[in-house]
Structure 1
Amino acid sequence: MATQAAMPHGRRRRHGTTERQHHSPLGFLLPAVLAVTAGIWAASVLRFQDGGIADGAQWLVGILCAVVLGALAFGLGRIQHRLPRELRAASYGALTGATIGFLTSLAGGSVLRSAGIGLACGLATGLAMFYAFYVRE
């Protein structure tokens, strides 16, 4: 009885071709939403710590946090298909862990607490992403 070989169904580029990749709107929207969320979180954490009305320094920290996270998430989204799944999962875990650790330190946590929470969140995200990439590829 003849059987059919399973073929990968993902998009493959031939070597030597210079096809232009078309990016979906989700590739722009997801980093922007993450950046705005983290920026508002950072500004509000500083506002609640200091009390009173929001001043320029709190908004500046929020905007800088949003710009840096948005740029890193956007850049990682652009190069993720060139990375092996282990490195890709570790990159997402490192970005998540660094962001959560930074936001925890803004909230007044000690260095050890911020590093521990960031490391735990980064490891959990890295393992979840590795599982997702391993199952899908």
Structure 2
Amino acid sequence: MATHATMPMRRRTHARTPARREHGHSALVWAVPLVLGVILGFWAFFIRRDGGATTGGQIWLGVVSGVVFAALCYALARFRWALSPGLRATAFGVLTGGAVGFLSSLNGRSVLMSSFIGLVVGAGMLCSLFYLFHTHDD
């Protein structure tokens, strides 16, 4: 049946509000990178600790890696709307792949294996987000 072609369309009674592209005052813009930075910092600390005694170098490794990752996440969250969907997906893929590759290298894997793992995870994130951004972007 072709009833969908003859059905009347529903009209909106109110004007659509434009999507807000600048989320500068939202708590999620700084809270999510902070939480992700803390998680990555603790993860790096515990990988390097490996059940032994805690040293100052391990603590500094966790703090510095967490702060750097949180700063990169914050910068990407603030300026993501200025990027095209393809470039935005690439930026998120590079950030994810770099973080996973870094954590993999702390686990004692070779540079080549850590790079491969980071590349595979980053490519997967890039493909997923490329599809998501192109199908859900206005």
Q: State whether TM-score is above 0.5.
A: yes
Aligned residue-pair number: 128
For residues 31-70 of structure 1, the C-alpha deviation after alignment (integer angstroms, 9 at most, x for no partner) is 011100000000000000xx42211100100000001000
5+ long unaligned stretches in structure 2: 1-5, 11-15
TM-score, length of structure 1 as denominator length:
0.84
Partner of 1:58: 58
Partner of 2:114: 114
Partner of 1:74: 74
Q: CA deviation at 1:11?
A: 2.1
Q: CA deviation at 1:29?
A: 1.1
3-state DSSP of counterpart to 1:54: coil
Q: CA deviation at 1:126?
A: 0.8
How much is the aligned-residue C-alpha RMSD, in angstroms? Answer: 2.4
* Structure number, greater radius of gyration: 2
Partners of 1:87 and 1:62 in 2: CA distance: 29
Q: Provide the identity percentage.
A: 39
TM-score, length of structure 2 as denominator length:
0.83
Partner of 1:11: 19
Pick the aligned partner of 2:49 from 47, 50, 53.
Answer: 47
Pick the aligned partner of 1:23 from 3, 25, 31.
Answer: 25
Large movers: runs of 4+ above 6 Å: 1-4
Q: 1:10 to 1:86 in 2, by over 3 A?
A: farther
Partners of 1:78 and 1:12 in 2: CA distance: 13
Contact 2:40–2:65 (Cα < 8 Å) also in 1: yes
Matches within 5 A, 1:97-112: 97-112=97-112
5+ long unaligned stretches in structure 1: 14-19
Partner of 2:36: 34
Partner of 1:133: 133
Q: Which amino acid aligns with 2:38?
A: V
Q: Which amino acid aligns with 2:45?
A: A
